[in-house]
Amino acid sequence: MAKIVLIGAGSHTFSKHLITDVISYPELRDSTICLMDIAQEPLDLIAAFANKIMKQNKYNTKIEATTDRKAALDGADYVLTTIKVGQRTPVQDPSPTAFHGIELGRGDTINAGGVFYGARHVPAMLDICIDMEKLCPDAWLMNYTNPMAIITWAINDYTKIKTVGLCHSVQSTATNLAKYMGVPANEVSYWVAGINHMAWFLELKWKGEDAYPLLRKKLEDPAVYSAADAHWAGPDVVRAEVMKAFGYFVTESSMHMSIYVPYFQKRPELMEKYLLNRKVVRPKYEEADKELRDKISGDFKFPTAHSGEYGSTIIRSLETGIPFRINANVMNKGLITNLPDGCCVEVPCLVDKEGINPCYVGDLPAQLAALNRSNISVQELAVRGLMEKDKTKIFQSILLDPLTSAVCTIDETRQLVDEMFKAEKKYTRGYK
pLDDT band per the 50, 70, 90 thresholds, residue 404: very high
Return contacts of 83-88, CB within 8 angstroms, 24+ apart. 83/7, 83/8, 83/121, 83/124, 83/125, 83/145, 84/8, 84/11, 84/145, 85/120, 85/121, 85/124, 85/427, 86/120, 86/427, 88/10, 88/39, 88/42, 88/285
Mean pLDDT of 39-63: 97
Give buried/exposed letters for 164-193 (b at 16+ CB in 10 A, else e): bbbbbbbbbbbebbbebbebeeeebebbbb
- Residue 102 confidence (pLDDT) above 80: no
pLDDT of residue 100: 63
Q: Is the pLDDT of residue 89 over 60?
A: no
C-alpha–C-alpha distance, residues 393 and 396, integer Å: 5
Q: Using one digit for the tens of pLDDT, what is the confidence trace for 205-224? A: 999 999 999 999 999 999 99
Rounded Cα distance between 270 and 274, Å, is: 6
Cis amide linkage into residue 147, ω under 30° from 0: yes
Mean pLDDT across 237-245: 98
Q: What is the pLDDT of residue 95?
A: 59
Which amino acid appears at position 407 of this protein? V
Domains and CATH numbers, the chain: 3-167 (3.40.50.720)
- Angle CA(366)–CA(367)–CA(368) in degrees, nearest 5? 90
- pLDDT value at position 282? 65
**Across the chain, what does the average pLDDT equal?**
94
Share of the chain above pLDDT 90, in %: 88
pLDDT number for residue 277: 82
Q: Are strands 198-206 and 188-195 parallel, antiparallel or unpaired?
A: antiparallel
| CB distance 181 to 204 below 8 Å | no
What is the rounded CA–CA span in Å between residue 409 and residue 104?
A: 13
182: helix, strand or coil: coil
From the list 168, 197, 231, 256, the catalytic residue is: 168
At 90, is the pLDDT very low, low, confident or very high (cuts 50, 70, 90)? very low
Instruction: Decide if pLDDT at 14 tops 90.
Output: no
Give mean pLDDT, residues 84-92. Answer: 65
* Annotation says 168 is catalytic: yes
pTM (2 d.p.): 0.95
